[in-house]
Amino acid sequence: MSQRIKVAVAGASGRMGREVVRMVLEDPELELAAAVARSCGPVDAGSLVGKPETGVIVASDLEQALSSSQADVLVDFTTPQAAYPNAEISIRYGVRPVMGTTGFTPEQFSLLDKLCKEKGIGGLIAPNFSIGAILMMKFAATAAKYLPHVEIIEYHGDQKLDAPSGTSIKTAELISESRRELRQGNPNEEEVIEGARGGYYNGFRIHSVRLPGVFAQQEVVFGGHGQTLKIRHDSYERAGYMPGVNTAVKKVMSTTGMVYGFEHFLD
């Protein structure tokens, strides 16, 4: 068997991080090299997911974890605040960052891309690892060529920190690339309640709904003469992201530079 890919997980105590730990432990082609979380103490990583001892003790500091492991790839599902420093530390240690956490500025992306290229390694920032969501974005970009009037409504749980979601921003970028320049709506429109029309992006609006009980959904709504088109994707559980994370961990071993969007890793 070829060498296993050694994976470090940042945010290992979190809901996504635990799914990643489980996915890594269940794939014979992958090896858990390190797990990082600040709140759970130095427990064995297996205990985070109800599995037998792995010999990997959860570290509280990423730098310490990477310097004492031989990780090839870091998978990060932490917070928008922690994501950039984590990606930078990872590249500094020659460890390929696979970032599921969103909230990077274009400047930060360019910097990380430069750092990756200097080190000769690949990296990925993926607002969404779900294949269904990637298809939603592709279909939305195609529809925008023919129906350029569009609004995005995204739904997430009420504890989500960033708004709008990384997926909706990515969708908006793809729509902007494929539709003609257009500022929608009535130029004399007035918001009676501030924010009623949602966030403004390149001529159209993005609305963020935050409610308990919701996991992750997005609707892209197009309007034309006498018709509307809705493209909708619903995610029901975190395990649904793991085939995508698994593919990314393997693919990033053979790329160079930072890539934005999991769709670029799909054949």
**Does residue 66 belong to the site contacting ligand NAP (CB under 6 A)?**
no
**Does residue 82 belong to the site contacting ligand NAP (CB under 6 A)?**
yes
**Does residue 11 belong to the site contacting ligand NAP (CB under 6 A)?**
yes
For the bound state, the minimum distance from the C-beta of residue 101 to ligand NAP, rounded and expressed in Å, comes to 4
Q: What is the dihedral of CA 26, 31, 36, 41, to 10 degrees?
A: 70
**Does residue 203 belong to the site contacting ligand NAP (CB under 6 A)?**
no
- Binding pattern to ligand NAP, positions 19-38, x when CB under 6 A? ------------------xx
For the bound state, the minimum distance from the C-beta of residue 181 to ligand NAP, rounded and expressed in Å, comes to 29
Q: Which stretch binds ligand NAP (CB under 6 A): 48-56, 73-81, 108-116, 247-255?
A: 73-81
> Which member of 79, 176, 184, 255 binds ligand NAP (CB under 6 A)?
79
> Which member of 14, 148, 203, 240 binds ligand NAP (CB under 6 A)?
14
Residues 201/116, Cβ–Cβ less than 8 Å: no
> Which member of 39, 105, 188, 254 binds ligand NAP (CB under 6 A)?
39
For the bound state, the minimum distance from the C-beta of residue 169 to ligand NAP, rounded and expressed in Å, comes to 12
Distance (Å, whole) CA 249 – CA 251? 6
Q: Based on CB atoms, which residue is closest to ligand NAP, 62 or 116?
A: 62
Is position 160 annotated as part of the catalytic site?
yes
Angle at 218 between CA 217 and CA 219, to 5 degrees: 135
Neighbouring CB atoms inside 10 A of 264's CB total 12
For the bound state, the minimum distance from the C-beta of residue 3 to ligand NAP, rounded and expressed in Å, comes to 27
> Which member of 241, 242, 248, 265 binds ligand NAP (CB under 6 A)?
241
Is position 225 annotated as part of the catalytic site?
no
Q: Write the DSSP symbol of residue 203.
A: T
**Does residue 91 belong to the site contacting ligand NAP (CB under 6 A)?**
no
Residues 34/48, Cβ–Cβ less than 8 Å: no
Element at 205 (helix H, strand E) = strand 204-210
Which residue intervals of the chain are DSSP H helices? 15-26, 62-67, 80-92, 106-119, 131-146, 166-178, 242-251
Q: Which stretch binds ligand NAP (CB under 6 A): 9-17, 66-74, 188-196, 202-210?
A: 9-17
Of the listed 117, 156, 230, 264, which one is catalytic? 156
> Which member of 46, 122, 127, 240 binds ligand NAP (CB under 6 A)?
127
Of the listed 117, 119, 160, 250, which one is catalytic? 160
Angle at 13 between CA 54 and CA 42, to 5 degrees: 55
Rg (CA), the chain: 20
Q: Which two tokens stand for residue 5?
A: 């890919």
* Of the candidates 47, 27, 29, 28, the residue with the CA atom closest to the CA atom of residue 37: 47
Q: At what angle do helices 80-92 and 106-119 cross, to 10 degrees?
A: 20
Active-site positions? Answer: 156, 160
Residues within the interface to ligand NAP (CB under 6 A): 11, 13-17, 37-40, 77-79, 81-82, 100-101, 126-129, 241
